């Protein structure tokens, strides 16, 4: 067998294997989609450097990702917001990056999930590093990394088995995740953490939508609730919130951003049940949200204060279904337009 024949044989066998592997995972309900990686975040962050004063940047934690729908906002205002929220993170490092490293003077919507927003300014703490590491990656990424990611996008949109999310989901199908499915003896005696299944999809604009199965399959939704409880009640307990440190840090950046003509909007998204009770216990509204709003002196919207934002049931105590997120976004944008705190290019 000559070299040409060998290469052709290897190519045919590879294509057959890839096709079989792809068809198998599609039969299991998987489909091609984007991964929420630092590369996608950095690609989105790049838009801020050329954004105008009419543009809108969204920062915060996962409630901003789930509840604010980019396409819906665009359809109502003619402006596609730049989605830079990070799950499980405080928005403070992202806002600091925008203030210090860009000339942007448009609108920044800051999602305030109190236990995360007021959590810490300690640079090695997980709520901080989950956001700051992505800003650092954006600044330090090489041209090779940019090209490599650009070339990966067609494959992510074509093949279901291409999966490399920054989060360690129990139902991911990359090699690292599949290896974790191998049952090994429990040598520590500690209870195993419950499996954390991916319950959202994301597109190239970092627009996140909750999977429909979370609405139709109670066991799926309950499995996420189990993870939340396990994370928030297991040892060691997280340190108490640093209200003074986080508030001072944010206000310094806010003052600088306002001075150059920027506009900031604070948003408190809905929560229910276990999360709502925990948030009220750890970060009671009068002492945290109300004090922040008073000191910030900027437009602020708490879901409990608006009938159109208050009639939503979170699926797993913290996030809205895709259908409700569309309605929440529409209602929120209408409030902002009526208050004339954001631009509406559709009327210009």
**Ramachandran quadrant class, 317 (left: phi over 0; alpha: psi -120 to 50; beta: rest):** left
Q: Which residue has the tokens 């559709």?
A: 346
**What is the number of alpha carbons within 13 Å of residue 105 lying toward its C-beta?**
8
What are the distances in angstroms from CA 293 to CA 98, 287, 288?
A: 21, 10, 9
pLDDT, tens digit, for every residue of 259-317?
999 999 999 999 999 999 999 999 999 999 999 999 999 999 999 999 999 989 999 99
Cβ atoms within 10 Å, residue 331: 18
Give the H/E segment covering residue 108.
Answer: strand 107-111
Task: List phi, psi (to 5°) of 157.
Answer: -85, -10
Domain 43-142+199-347 sits in CATH at: 3.40.50.1110
Residues in the chain, overall count: 348
User: Average model confidence (pLDDT) for the chain?
Assistant: 87
Give the H/E segment covering residue 73.
Answer: helix 70-77
Give pLDDT, residue 149: 78
Collect all residues with Cβ–Cβ distance below 8 Å to 171 and sequence separation of at least 6: 177, 195, 197, 198
In three-state secondary structure terms, 19 is helix
What percent of the chain is predicted at pLDDT more than 90? 65
Give the H/E segment covering residue 208.
Answer: strand 208-210
Give pLDDT, residue 179: 47
Give pLDDT, residue 158: 65
Q: Which residue has the higher pLDDT, 135 or 168?
A: 135
Q: Are 114 and 80 in contact (CB under 8 A)?
A: no
Across 58-85, average pLDDT: 97
CA-CA distance, 223 to 298, in Å (whole number)? 38
CA-CA distance, 11 to 292, in Å (whole number)? 61
Cross-strand pairs, 267: 111, 301
Task: Of 249, 329, 336, give the one whose Cα is nearest residue 300.
Answer: 336
For the entire predicted model, the pTM comes to 0.87
Q: Output the CA torsion sign for 275, 163, 159, 208.
A: positive
With cut-offs at 50, 70 and 90, classify the pLDDT of residue 4.
Answer: confident
Q: Which residue has the tokens 């396990």?
A: 230
CA-CA distance, 253 to 97, in Å (whole number)? 10
With cut-offs at 50, 70 and 90, classify the pLDDT of residue 25.
Answer: low
Task: Of 296, 301, 308, give the one whose Cα is nearest residue 268.
Answer: 301
Cβ atoms within 10 Å, residue 135: 22
Query: Is 90 exceeded by the pLDDT of residue 183?
Result: no
DSSP string covering 264-327 = EEEEE----HHHHHHHHHHS-TTTTHHHHHHHH-S-EEEGGG-HHHHS---TTSS---HHHHHH
Cis peptide before 236 (omega within 30 of 0): yes
Query: Is 90 exceeded by the pLDDT of residue 189?
Result: no
**Tokens linked to 297:** 């002196």
With cut-offs at 50, 70 and 90, classify the pLDDT of residue 346.
Answer: confident
Task: Of 245, 152, 253, 269, give the one whose Cα is nearest residue 204.
Answer: 152
- Residue 125 CB burial class (10 angstroms; 0-12, 13-18, ≥19): middle
Query: Is 50 exceeded by the pLDDT of residue 205?
Result: yes
Q: Are 57 and 48 in contact (CB under 8 A)?
A: yes
Of 199-203, 227-231, 298-302, which has the strongest mean pLDDT? 298-302
In three-state secondary structure terms, 45 is helix
Give pLDDT, residue 13: 80
Query: Is 70 exceeded by the pLDDT of residue 115?
Result: yes
């Amino acid at each position: 067998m000559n070299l040409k024949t060998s290469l052709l044989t290897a190519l045919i066998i590879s294509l057959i294997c890839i096709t079989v592997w792809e068809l198998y995972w599609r039969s299991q309900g998987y489909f091609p989609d984007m991964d929420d990686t630092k590369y996608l975040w950095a690609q989105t962050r790049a838009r801020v450097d050329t954004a105008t004063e009419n543009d809108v940047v969204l920062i915060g934690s996962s409630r901003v990702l789930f509840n604010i729908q980019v396409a819906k906002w665009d359809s109502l205002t003619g402006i596609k917001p730049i989605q830079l929220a990070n799950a499980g993170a405080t928005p403070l490092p992202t806002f600091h990056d925008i203030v210090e490293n860009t000339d942007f003077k448009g609108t920044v919507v800051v999602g305030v999930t109190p236990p995360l927003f007021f959590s810490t300014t300690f640079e090695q703490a997980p709520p901080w590093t989950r956001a700051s590491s992505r800003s650092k990656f954006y600044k330090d990424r090489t041209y090779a990394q940019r090209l490599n990611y650009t070339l990966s996008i067609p494959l992510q949109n074509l093949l279901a088995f291409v999966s490399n999310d920054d989060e360690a989901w129990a139902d991911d199908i990359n090699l690292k995740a599949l290896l974790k499915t191998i049952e090994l003896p429990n040598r520590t005696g500690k209870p195993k953490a419950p499996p954390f299944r991916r319950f959202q999809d994301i597109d190239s604009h970092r627009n996140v939508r909750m999977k429909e199965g979370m609405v139709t399959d109670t066991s799926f939704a309950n499995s996420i609730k189990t993870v939340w409880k396990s994370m928030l009640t297991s040892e060691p307990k997280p340190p108490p919130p640093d209200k003074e440190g986080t508030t001072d840090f944010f206000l310094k950046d806010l003052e600088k951003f306002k001075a150059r003509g920027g506009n900031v909007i604070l948003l408190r998204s809905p929560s229910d049940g276990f999360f709502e009770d925990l948030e009220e216990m750890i970060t009671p509204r009068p002492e945290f949200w109300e004090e922040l709003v008073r000191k910030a002196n900027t437009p602020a919207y708490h879901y409990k204060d608006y009938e159109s934002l208050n009639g939503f049931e979170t699926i797993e105590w913290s996030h809205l279904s895709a259908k409700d997120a569309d309605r929440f976004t529409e209602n929120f944008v209408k409030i902002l337009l009526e208050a004339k705190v954001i631009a509406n290019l559709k009327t210009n």
